[in-house]
Structure 1
């Protein structure tokens, strides 16, 4: 930035040194209040945790300082513009079918049938078979963890009854109580599935999942013995989703329900929506490293057709935390740090400049939202070279 006059004709100074064209004279007393001082670059923290360098000048009092001549104007200028700013973050994502779950055997026996990898299994269908008897998929949020029989109450009972009702069985009330009427419906269901008609759903006969599933991989083989706790297969949901892992400090970007933009490998951009957000602890990598806390977000994409043929692919996801519409903006580098605190802009008018104090808002893409008395669209302001 160029030199700033001290208010005495022909006495331009820079960092307290007389310029060659200054006329020697008796020492002038330094002016105090209201004097502008050009200084070094100041490091300023901005939204998102980054840092930028801005021009530095002192403005001790008031919102405007003395003007300076054309010979001392800044080396470059820019214009105050009105536009929309978005607080965004770009992150790497993986297009796939979301989190992988494991179906674990709860009964001893022999694996007699397994589905193919990639197969989809819906409510009431066999996920696998043990001793030629089906282990069936049902929808629900509570895992199976006990025998279900008359007198038992709980969310798992409600899950079972809702599934039986959806499969066409009736004569009972869907609630959290396993009654005699529930047992009668279970006996009918057992008969249809070739099971012993006991009226009791023993642990290991059903697997609860949030919805229909896609078999991801097989962890066992047909004819292989199985025992409680042994992995049989892994599965995912059936809808294509994008999994994104963010740093913990970027959690504000990934809000459930937030809209995002997803860029596919072919360069096409599709709309997406954050459906789930969870905090995960990643194991330490290396002997002296610490575990790392990350934010994992699941993003559904707007149209399945856009991702057709892509089972797994790397994609880019753009999150938008906030948006400022129709605001005045300048490049961040145009900001001047004021000695009294806060920031200002050096306004250029009629070949002379003056400083005005401004309030800063959203920082985005190298620009910053500004407002202040007398600040208008189209104004010319100083910039560093």
Structure 2
């Protein structure tokens, strides 16, 4: 005998169920009334054409996902500030839009070129003594090798028992010789030593966006703002929601007339409060999420523009689903779906997304017909 479904007050996700259940119960009552009418007297009488209609849907198997769409801005990403180090006077500055190149001068100090290296550690000391170790030595070694100079064998760092591990590479005679050859090639004094301020270190290729200093200013100060040379989409996301977003996640870019794929390349660490911005209807803090298009050609013809970005926060693959309106709240608790015959099949609910709900339970299979309220 099938269980009887009665409306009940539900909580959480089930807050949409009471209306659905009422419609379902009324619809089922209509089916019963129609059945009684067929077995009663054949005398002419009112037809049940005004009863609520009952429709059915099939249990389907699919990937179900929760997603959120946020407004992003296509451009060259957040502007970072390059600060000069050392002593001397700026004698030449790049123009806006200048692209950096490894080993090439970005500006000049005291009429001497200041080239660019790429790495994660600036040159904070003079590198001139054999045996010095550190991450700054690694930056020097890596860049000279990338420029084609023979930096020699990287000697292993020797340490006594009980000492903490040594970070970075060792400054060797062969590395000093490679440095000297490079200095001569770029117009620097070929000393084989590197002073702090001789070379500027950036995280990677960049593009000058705003020149902040002027010729004649001291080098120790804000010189210019720089951005990524590639177009990126910057999305301000509520700080409470950003924990579900990780570098490497795939996202969908809503381009004009079509969609494209992007990837999360970075998640900011500092929340910005936008509550004071004119027209803002959200006073919560935001964290910038940076998105790279999978193919640069997808945005090649677009200038700066606002683009919606869809983030998938959770996905359940290959699950059985029905429309939410197929759920029937049981009087004893829990949910069921109803067969067109009136039979109730108890189900366990999973993810709710885009009008569908994940279900599991006995006697459920793909293609099964279930009643939905309309």
Equivalences for residues 102-181 of structure 1 within 5 A: 102-150=81-129, 151-174=131-154, 176-181=169-174
C-alpha displacement of 1:120: 0.9
Q: CA deviation at 1:96?
A: 2.0
> Quick check: 1:224 aligned with 2:216?
yes
**Is 1:371 matched up with 2:360?**
yes
Q: Give CA-to-partner distance per residue, 1:231-265, whole Å, 9 cap, x none.
A: 1011122222222232344346523322222122x
Deviations, residues 321-364 of structure 1 (Å, cap 9, x unaligned): 44445543222233233343332224331xxx343311112221
- C-alpha distance in structure 2 between counterparts of 1:125 and 1:201, whole Å: 16
Deviation at 1:122, TM superposition (A): 0.9
Query: Residue in 2 aligned with 1:380?
Result: 370
- Measure the CA separation in 1 of the matches of 2:318 and 2:172: 63
Per-residue deviation, 1:368: 0.7
Deviation per CA, 1:264-294: give whole Å up to 9, x if none: 2x222112222333433224745xxxx9554
- Matching of residue 214 in structure 1 with residue 207 in structure 2: yes
How many residues are paired up? 331
Equivalent position SS for 2:97: coil
Whether the 8 Å contact between 1:89 and 1:253 is mirrored in structure 2 is no
Which has the higher mean CA deviation after the structures are superposed, 113-122 or 196-205?
196-205
Q: Please give the secondary structure, in 1, of the residue aligned with 2:175.
A: helix
Q: Does 1:201 align with 2:194?
A: yes
- Counterpart of 1:340 in structure 2 is 332
Is the Cα contact below 8 Å between 2:133 and 2:169 reproduced in 1? Answer: yes
Deviation by residue 1:112-144 (Cα, 9 ceiling, x = unmatched): 212221121110011111111122110112233
Identify if the C-alpha distance between structure 1 residues 253 and 76 changes in structure 2 by more than 3 Å, giving closer, same or farther: farther
Q: Which of the residues 233, 247, 257 maps onto 1:256?
A: 247
Q: Among 267, 288, 291, which residue is 2:257 paired with?
A: 267
The equivalent residue for 2:32 is: 70
Unpaired runs of 5+ residues, structure 2, are 23-27, 35-50, 155-167, 277-282
Residue 298 of structure 1, aligned match among 290, 313, 325: 290
Q: Does 1:191 align with 2:184?
A: yes
Q: TM-score, normalised by structure 2?
A: 0.77
How far apart, CA to CA, are the structure 2 residues paired with 1:112 and 1:53?
72
User: Which residue among 78, 94, 97 is the counterpart of 2:73?
Assistant: 94
Give the Cα separation in 2 of the matches to 1:75 and 1:216: 63
| Contact 2:6–2:329 (8 Å) recurs in 1 | no
Does the 8 Å CA contact 1:54/1:333 hold for their aligned counterparts?
no
The separation in 2 between residues aligned to 1:203 and 1:98, in whole angstroms, is 28
Q: Which has the higher strand share?
A: 1
TM-score (norm 1): 0.75
Asked whether the equivalents of residues 347 and 382 of structure 1 are also in contact (C-alpha less than 8 Å), the reply is: no
Q: 5+ residue gaps in structure 1? A: 1-6, 8-33, 59-66
Distance, in Å, in 2 between the alignment partners of 1:231 and 1:55 is: 62
Deviation of 1:109 (Å): 2.8
Deviations 1:188-212 (Å, cap 9, x if unpaired)? 2222333233332111121222322
- 8 Å CA contact 2:66, 2:312 repeated in 1: yes
- Paired with 1:340 and 1:240, the residues of 2 have a C-alpha distance of 57
